[in-house]
Structure 1
């Protein structure tokens, strides 16, 4: 296949591109605007492949999208391009509305126009895979709020987004499903839990804590640190996404989770414990933990039921949280130059997302 991947220089997108180039015979067209979170250094290992092409294009630019479709003639689209950091969406929601909603609309229309002009067999084989988040579902009951078996997000869970980020992603999910229902355009949607792993931009919790810990800086914990997330190793996610685009059923939604519910404070403490072993110092890294004012509208718990992925597509995560986290920390220790290069003068791991009264 020839697959157009949007956002292929980002964290999850680059993992998808690397996975497909290394493990399949498919061709990739990587379409990325190269914002602060997109970095071609994440693709150095495969950039020489004759099956890899890069297009620096904004998904809000319809004319450029049409050119890319007509030039490369893809068999499928994997749409990962998005603004994705909740804290940034709180202080600057406009970019999220523009990229995640307007950009997805433009991509859908460019892809539909291209699809309408394919021959019958190519038209039947084409699919548009939209990659989304579990945050569109809102949050779930927390163990300190409800006794007994706690619910999980399923593919039938109602949408209740809490942040500008998750609301913009929910909007894009609705657009994708509407294009299927109204136009018969062949779409598939996936919603994933929190990803972690190599090449993660250091505004997110795990890389932020690793790098701050190594530099002796504070390790900020929002509120009490009891927010629960289901953690998914990014390479497991990349395998799942390829399964969906090649084997998933048109019109279906698949939830992808790591089966690893952890409180944020547990995540930070585990990172500190691993660093105590790998890079010991006179004091324990956990002594750098500080507690800060919670994020506005912070969801308390996410957890995904990914049994549909297991039963219908024979996918389960390979990494446990412990094995994946150790691999992640070892990667950051070995790739300090990448970390320095992706942080420019506009972001030095300061707190984002505070609302000024």
Structure 2
């Protein structure tokens, strides 16, 4: 038995691969892990799998239809779990083209390859096949303080190039199910945090900047609210949907943890004060308010009752437990953050692979 993961060297994807291969439930399954190893994809996330024959790493682009067709024909996966995406709002504002290519064209390419592959399957293999699309709560737009959390029935109102590209990909997945019968599942998650998070996002950026004595930049008044989901809880939610979700359905995966950005920063500072105090004083002295980014959504919140009601899933971590584990991980792995920021990792990828398409990791 095999599954194909796209984007499995990124933050959420690598956590999913590690958890999947460590699970007793999937002990006999192989993971084919396809990742283009852009700035946020990092094989160091998967170092624990070195020499593991159940992990087959392939460096490649999800827009490469010939490569996708070859992997499907060679490995015959029972499922595709599609994480690969450009995901940083700030980057999408400055360079939206890459988001349209990866998130829209890439998802289209995968869907067409999956449709051809699934259409040729027979019997039990055809009935069991799944295409699981991993998306975001940002497709729903922004909430007012008094609004209820996003439910799966909320209309799509994306406000950034990133969220618009993910909304487009969600619509493609829905259409391929409705028109062609492709057996799809979609999950829309809230803000993830945890190990292996590239330090451009809020929580890891605050940790690495604080430890380096650099300013902690907070957009606007810092009162933007997000629902925070520990990455390993997200992975368990995806596994539940992949195993038992109803075909064609969307499931929101959230952490039931709404927090303002400024409160997140203060919590991180307090944990660092406890775990690695600075001789210069409390880390909160580094908090710096900066001009808000264009079109910054004010609030996101996920209503995760559907996945609990239908599949019995709830997050295992509170924000207090999850954020402590996250800060402790970054304190224990300073070299990882240093290398992914330095450019040395990207230079290594270029030297290691060159024109090579695949290798085992």
Q: TM-score, normalised by structure 1?
A: 0.94
Residues 212-250 of structure 1, C-alpha deviations (whole Å, 9 max, x = no match): 000110000000000000000000101111111111111
2:176 corresponds to which residue?
A: 179
Answering whether residue 114 of structure 2 is matched by residue 111 of structure 1, we say: yes
**What is the alpha-carbon distance in structure 2 between the residues aligned to residue 215 and residue 9 of structure 1?**
26
The more displaced of 306-315 and 76-85 is: 306-315
**What is the alpha-carbon distance in structure 2 between the residues aligned to residue 320 and residue 47 of structure 1?**
32
**CA, structure 1 residues 54+345, in 2 after alignment: closer, same or farther (shift >3 Å)?**
closer
Secondary structure of the 2:175 match is: helix
**What is the alpha-carbon distance in structure 1 between the residues aligned to residue 34 and residue 284 of structure 2?**
40
Answering whether residue 78 of structure 2 is matched by residue 75 of structure 1, we say: yes
1:218-257 matches, cutoff 5 A: 218-257=215-254
**Aligned with residue 195 of structure 2, among 175, 187, 198:** 198
2:101 corresponds to which residue?
A: 98
Residues 18-68 of structure 1, C-alpha deviations (whole Å, 9 max, x = no match): 110001222211011110100011011123322111111100111111111
Secondary structure of the 1:113 match is: helix
Secondary structure of the 2:223 match is: coil
**Aligned with residue 311 of structure 1, among 309, 312, 318:** 309
Answering whether residue 8 of structure 2 is matched by residue 8 of structure 1, we say: yes
Q: CA deviation at 1:345?
A: 4.1
Answering whether residue 304 of structure 2 is matched by residue 301 of structure 1, we say: no
Q: CA deviation at 1:120?
A: 2.1
**What is the alpha-carbon distance in structure 1 between the residues aligned to residue 287 and residue 43 of structure 2?**
33
1:323 corresponds to which residue?
A: 321
RMSD value over aligned CA atoms?
A: 1.2
Uncovered stretches (5+) of structure 2, i.e. residues with no partner: 346-361
**What is the alpha-carbon distance in structure 1 between the residues aligned to residue 244 and residue 306 of structure 2?**
13
Q: TM-score, normalised by structure 2?
A: 0.93
More helix by share: 2
**What is the alpha-carbon distance in structure 2 between the residues aligned to residue 41 and residue 204 of structure 1?**
19
The more displaced of 156-165 and 311-320 is: 311-320
Uncovered stretches (5+) of structure 1, i.e. residues with no partner: 348-357
**Aligned with residue 275 of structure 1, among 258, 272, 277:** 272
Secondary structure of the 1:343 match is: helix
2:339 corresponds to which residue?
A: 341
2:348 corresponds to which residue?
A: none
